[in-house]
Structure 1
Amino acid sequence: MEIIVTHKNSDFDAVASLVAATILFPGAKPVLPRALNPNVKAFVSIHKDLFPFVDLGTVDLSEVTRLIVVDTAQGHRVEGIGELLGRKGVAICVWDHHEARDDDIAADSKIQEQAGAATTLFVERVEKEGATVTPMQATLFLAGIYEDTGSLMFPTTTPRDARAAGYLLEQQGDLNILKNFLRPAYGPKQKQILFEMLQNAERTKVNGYRLSINKISISGHTPGLAVVVDMYQDIVNVDAAFGIFTDEHKGRTMVIGRSEHDGLDVGKIMRSMGGGGHPGAGSALLKNAHPDAVEAWLVELIQGNQQTSVQIGALMSFPVTTVSPGTSMKDAASLLRRTGCTGLPVVEGKKIAGIISRRDFRKIKNEKQLKAPVKAFMSQKVVTIEPGKSAMEAARKMIKHDVGRLPVVQGGELIGIVTRSDTMRYFYDMLPG
């Protein structure tokens, strides 16, 4: 007997992968986990008769000769398969899109490739083999890809996901059904939790990141917590937000994180806590964990988190062409033309006093004003950045303040400058190798 299994608290990508695997492994039984995400549970309850799901309790594990694990490579995340791992005579096959880890299942064969969704890997193989995909299967597969990639808008989305989605639309995948089941739950209960989080909101700085970690007691089934954390992060305006939701009656704590800083990988942090996710979003379910201890653990993990993106110190230009506050506007204009720069830092000693840009020359009304010092026309509100910050942080600052360059400052002193072109070269992989 061959069975297909996936992780607990299954999302659409997990369930879609279960069904997609049945196309590639005819006769294999897809085992539906007991714990499903609320929107997945609603979908399955309506469409269950259309898919050949079985319950683990009906499977005689002694007869299993092949175990196909999808959307995870972590044995502890799959319910009830412990006795099959390492048993002689059981071939193990893994299909996963998450980063490989040392404690992954020891598999006889493994498809573990970079994609925004595990479903994408299956859809590519199904298309290659020319297998038939029904409209309802195509709709479920689309749900798997769209949910895990944020409708193809998460940074983890790859061209492979977009191509797979296009193929599924050709197979008559129904976007209207997706709209109904991928719509996040937000009602009075979620509104009350958000209100409570905002009342208790605290901001702190850990390892250079602006964080807000919020501990909330919940009772009973509470869907939509991920949506609440999304909204909470937007409102408190931090680099990353974490919600620690504890149900004391059940002895369970759900940790949900969201990050908008490309140097803070929430998925990596959640994997360290036994969960999973992506750089911008992740979660972990803990048993009998005190919320204060969970918070301390989070802080410890963030303190040890390494910057994964290129830092501004590697992108900036130096030495920097500057002018003094007493430099005439005429000389500054000549220097701008000669260097091809659109703006120059105005420096007094080693401290920045302002920025003079081509825009500032629009303030000049007559030729006499060209003899005036730049300090009379320069912008004194200078937006700067530190060398340890990321290219994403620089881009955000440039967009927010509508500037084309950022002086790089360390200890109050100018050490370099990074321009809009510098950040674009980074984002479009134009950095020299």
Structure 2
Amino acid sequence: MEIITTHKNVDFDALASVVAAKHLYPKAHIVIPRSINANVRSFLSIHKDLFPFMSPLGVPQDEVSRLIVVDANRWERLDGLDALMNRSDLEVHLWDHHPDIGDIHAVAGRQALVGSAATLLVQELEQRGAAIDPIQATLFLASIYEDTGHLTFPCTRATDARAAAFLLEVQADLNVIQTALRPGYGPEHKEILAHLLETAQRVTLNGHVVCFAKADLKGHVSGLASVVAMLRDVLSADAAFGLFWDGRRRQSIVIARSGPDSMDVAALMKPLGGGGRPEAASALVKGTRPEGIENWIRELMAQNGHASMPIFDLMSFPVFTVGPDETVDAVHSQLKERGHTGAPVTEGEKTGGLDFLA
């Protein structure tokens, strides 16, 4: 069995890349992570019949012989495929455009510093003379436009522009793209932006004007990235970090936005288990509140990306530990229930436990 997958919080580049990869690997099944950006979800609600895919929960992982990863280069960014990580018999192909070196080691595919992962795949499809219908062309162009800021971000390369021109030649619809890429903004977003402005701290770190702002979430809210982008514009900051606490899941959502030629926020998100582009990145941190994450980011900036802060600052309470005699199945159930991927193993009296950042 072959599967194609991408990173959590699926954006247009991720969706376009898995669809484009399907042309190159016709026998593969597309596996879409469970978290999908709002504008991508809206696009799929209209065109879902044209893009069939599986949930990671439905993948029989012991039957997977080939894994094709697009627009991601680290295992932690994939959804629900941990069992494949240490498979020595697994053939991995990787198509990615991120500048950092990840931990997914592939035997085939392509990695290059371009504005969009879809650009690499579109370039390959053009060379092979693949048949691309107008809806697919529109999706591919939307991904390139989104990741390059309509070909204006510093990450944009000539290859991106050539791929965009090719997609226009095969009837990509600019009207659909204009609607799809328009961020949704309603009363809920307005309320969150007002709260971010109330809590915002504007500081100068390493010569950059940086803004940190926090807000609690009362459930899932789509389009938070557009709110953080507005925050940065309003405060005229080089970079803005929106730190959102989801109390129900006991996790923090970190969204970072920076200006052109400012700071590489993707490099700052990497130690937090996140990723993205130099001007737009995010991370999901379980068990650690926004205050601790802000301290972590400040330390990372002070150390130029290499934090040396005490591990105590990254721990959350109440503490959860496991004993050396507990079974794997029992521990797995406890971790799943708490929403964590690891816990310390201790001898002697078991505490209520310390949840390490995972």
1:16 Cα deviation (Å)?
0.6
* 1:28 counterpart = 2:28: yes
Which amino acid is 2:251 matched to? R
1:36 Cα deviation (Å)?
0.6
Which amino acid is 1:24 matched to? L
Residue aligned with 2:249, SS: coil
Partner residue in 2 for 1:167: 166
Describe how 1:354-373 pairs up with structure 2 within 5 A: none
Cα distance in 2, alignment partners of residues 6 and 12 from structure 1 = 11
* 1:227 counterpart = 2:205: no
1:200 Cα deviation (Å)?
2.7
Query: Which digits, 9 at most, give the CA deviation of each residue in 1:121-149, with x for residues without a partner?
Result: 00000000011001111111111111111
Cα distance in 1, alignment partners of residues 238 and 26 from structure 2 = 46
The structure-2 alpha-carbon separation of the partners of 1:291 and 1:223, relative to structure 1 and needing over 3 Å to count, comes to same
Cα distance in 1, alignment partners of residues 281 and 32 from structure 2 = 22
Which amino acid is 2:23 matched to? I
Partner residue in 1 for 2:312: none
Residue aligned with 2:103, SS: coil
Q: Check whether the contact 1:264–1:305 (CA below 8 A) recurs between aligned residues.
A: no
Q: Check whether the contact 2:3–2:28 (CA below 8 A) recurs between aligned residues.
A: yes
Cα distance in 2, alignment partners of residues 95 and 181 from structure 1 = 24
Partner residue in 2 for 1:181: 180
Cα distance in 1, alignment partners of residues 100 and 110 from structure 2 = 11
Residue aligned with 1:179, SS: helix
1:261 Cα deviation (Å)?
6.4
Partner residue in 2 for 1:115: 114
Partner residue in 1 for 2:190: 191
Partner residue in 2 for 1:7: 7
TM-score by length of 2: 0.82
TM-score by length of 1: 0.68
Query: Which digits, 9 at most, give the CA deviation of each residue in 1:164-216, with x for residues without a partner?
Result: 01111111111111112111011111111111222233222222222221111
Q: Check whether the contact 2:154–2:260 (CA below 8 A) recurs between aligned residues.
A: no
Describe how 1:5-404 pairs up with structure 2 within 5 A: 5-101=5-101, 103-260=102-259, 262-305=261-304
Identical-pair percentage: 49
Cα distance in 2, alignment partners of residues 301 and 100 from structure 1 = 16
Cα distance in 2, alignment partners of residues 259 and 57 from structure 1 = 35
Residue aligned with 2:42, SS: helix
The structure-2 alpha-carbon separation of the partners of 1:238 and 1:91, relative to structure 1 and needing over 3 Å to count, comes to same
Cα distance in 2, alignment partners of residues 264 and 249 from structure 1 = 32
Structure with higher RCO (Cα < 8 A, 6+ apart): 2
Q: Which runs of 5+ in 1 are unaligned?
A: 307-433
Cα distance in 1, alignment partners of residues 48 and 89 from structure 2 = 32
Cα distance in 2, alignment partners of residues 279 and 78 from structure 1 = 20
Q: Check whether the contact 1:138–1:169 (CA below 8 A) recurs between aligned residues.
A: yes
Q: In terms of Rg, which structure is larger? A: 1
Cα distance in 1, alignment partners of residues 70 and 203 from structure 2 = 38
Q: Check whether the contact 1:243–1:256 (CA below 8 A) recurs between aligned residues.
A: yes
Structure 1: 4+ residue segments shifted above 6 A: none
1:58 Cα deviation (Å)?
3.3
Residue aligned with 1:217, SS: strand
Q: Check whether the contact 1:240–1:261 (CA below 8 A) recurs between aligned residues.
A: no
1:155 Cα deviation (Å)?
1.2
Residue aligned with 1:203, SS: strand
1:263 Cα deviation (Å)?
4.8
**Deviating more after overlay: 82-91 vs 22-31:** 82-91
Cα distance in 2, alignment partners of residues 278 and 258 from structure 1 = 9
1:159 Cα deviation (Å)?
0.8
Which amino acid is 1:152 matched to? L
Aligned residues: 305
Q: Check whether the contact 2:57–2:80 (CA below 8 A) recurs between aligned residues.
A: no
Partner residue in 2 for 1:394: none
1:279 Cα deviation (Å)?
1.8
Which amino acid is 1:115 matched to? V
Q: Check whether the contact 2:274–2:281 (CA below 8 A) recurs between aligned residues.
A: yes
